[in-house]
A and B are shown apart, each in its own frame.
Chain A
Amino acid sequence: MSVSTTHPAGVAQPRPFDGLLSWLGDVWVMTRRNLIHIRREPMQLSDVTIQPVLFTLLFIYVFGSAMVLAGGGSYKEFALAGLLTMNLTTSTVGTAIGLSMDLSTGVINRLRTLPMSPTSILVGRTVSDLVAAALCSTIVAATGLAVGWRPTTGLAEVLAGFGVALLFSYALTWVNACLGMAVSGPESAQGIVFIVIFPLAFVSNVFVPTQGMPSWLATIANWNPVSAVASACRTLFGNPNPSSVIHAWPMQHPVAAAVGWSVLILLVCVPLAGRLYQRRTRD
């Protein structure tokens, strides 16, 4: 007898929305579990606490001392949105590493034999990394304020700026979730930082205006989602934004571009992550 004919189709299908509440409960349990991990593992915690402070101080004092911005304004004011974007971009690698770590141990096997919702494993992972990203943003902002960065717009705009940056960071955690499941183990996941995330973070306007780049590189940088996010934050914080005079569409409409990129990434990567998870755990 074949498997598919053992039972009439549909009889045993779990009902859709088999309790939205229990799904949320599962997501919450998984999120909390991952947050305990971040708290207990110094390397992971330093990615969102010490590193942002260090980078902020390094860039503002080391680079800032020699930097003259095209169009005027202080480098400190310019750099903060870039640092926020860069930190939120690089810290998303934690998702790839954490997920591939779970897949390489027996933990996922245990979870898969439980009557829990399988999607909460992925969602819980990305939500806990979003919490870590929010912590990271707070630390960047506090460090910035301590060294003299000042937004010049209202509270609503400033919060919107952080919101755009966090939305983008959340979208990137799903890219990393996909990468984490595509690679063979946690060590390869580490390699993602250099192959994907670093170029993404640096070939952009986060640290220097793109005007000085060779034109082919400038074109890439102007269309890089990371540049859109940094520009959006600069606009929303009321900080100097030399990219606003560039004729590329994302540089003219940085907030729309940043949100658009984030939504597009989520639309592609969330279903893809689900597919990869199924394939990865099939046998």
Chain B
Amino acid sequence: MNNTNMIEAAALSKRYGETQALDGVDLEVPAGSILGVLGPNGAGKTTGVRILTTLTTPDSGWARVAGHNVVTEAAAVRRKIGVTGQDTTLDDALSGRQNLVMIGQLSRLRRAEARRRAAELLELFELDAAADRVVKGYSGGMRRRLDLAASLLMRPPVLFLDEPTTGLDPTSRQRMWGLIRGLVADGVTLWLTTQYLDEADSLADRIAVIDHGRVIAQGTPRELKAATGSQLLEVTLVASHAGAAAALADLATGPVKVTDEGRRLRAPVRSDSGLATAALRALDRAGALVDDIAVHRPSLDDVFATLTGTSTVLPDDLVAEGAPA
């Protein structure tokens, strides 16, 4: 194997009844880096995590974590990973400290070491005040932090976080991000699934966008933005005009969409300088009267929406390089 990759997946496929949850996923995560796995609900993100963390087996393909095959060497993989799932995996009837000590002992730490490490993590995650309260009474943010702490007891070199901030308020999210950044500074390799592009953008070294069980794009956040980063021209006419769409076609990088009974036109365009002037001139030559003209830079969410095909704003053929053959 390639020693610099802590996580490798090749042609991973998994089917649940009628649903092809994963459909030939190839991904690699170099040691000490963060891969953000981005996709809408049901894209296959959680199935990927479940396979890589030995909770389920792939129908075909293979994966290695920290050099160990996740199917045939599951026990060895479990000694190297920490996992924080989407659903909290804490024991509601135990206190925060009892949860951590239990998981520490089951992770093969001695009891004294488990207690010491639990105290350390409770303090680091600002849970020491609530440490001896039953988890049932914890807030959502506290649960997530305790769940993350539970993944770190034996200092695993590889960490899987499955939507660690879904459902959290902005303050709790910022706090989680701070904790996650701290982990990576310690050299942990991280597989982070998220529905939030800003989360992937802010934390990940590389992003893989998956949809319908396939990787439809991957690269650094900057590369991804560049790949889909054409701008959007939006024109409102005084009245519908037959030649307007044709006039904009030369400037557009994709089909021009016409709505509002011909009054509103939208088209993806390259970010050339003087674009608005060029558009106005073209429309003027065609004899169309313009009420309003605007050039939008696509938001990160637009990029995401475009890639996963859920966009109604940008045409479907605007897909990043690296899309499936």
Contacts and interface: CB of A to CB of B under 8 A. Distances in A.
A247 interface: no
Interface in A1-31: 1-4, 6-7, 11-12, 14, 18, 22, 25-26, 29-30
A26 B108 CA distance: 9
Contacts of A11: 72
B75 A14 contact: yes
Contacts of B57: 3, 282
B93 A110 contact: no
A114 B72 contact: no
A109 interface: yes
B103 interface: yes
Contacts of A116: 106-108
Interface in B20-68: 53-58, 60-62, 68
Interface of B: 10-11, 16, 53-58, 60-62, 68-69, 71-73, 75-76, 78-79, 81, 83, 85, 87-94, 98, 102-103, 105-108, 134, 150
Contacts of B16: 283
A185 to B, nearest CB: 15
A25 to B, nearest CB: 7
Categorize the interface residue count of chain A.
Answer: 20 to 34
Contact of A110 (B54, B79, B108, B150): B150
Given A1-B10, A41-B93, A112 B105 contact: no
Residue with the highest number of chain B CB atoms closer than 10 Å, among A12, A29, A33, A110: A110
B105 A6 contact: no
Nearest to B62: A6
7 contacts: A30-B106, A33-B98, A110-B89, A110-B90, A113-B83, A114-B107, A283-B16
A106 B88 contact: yes
Nearest to A5: B62
Contacts of A29: 102, 105-106
A18 B106 CA distance: 14
Contact of B71 (A3, A105, A110, A114): A3
Contacts of B105: 25, 29
B68 A115 contact: no
Contacts of B75: 12, 14, 18, 115
A26 B106 contact: yes
* Ranked 6 nearest A-B pairs via Cβ: A110-B89, A106-B89, A12-B73, A116-B106, A106-B87, A115-B78
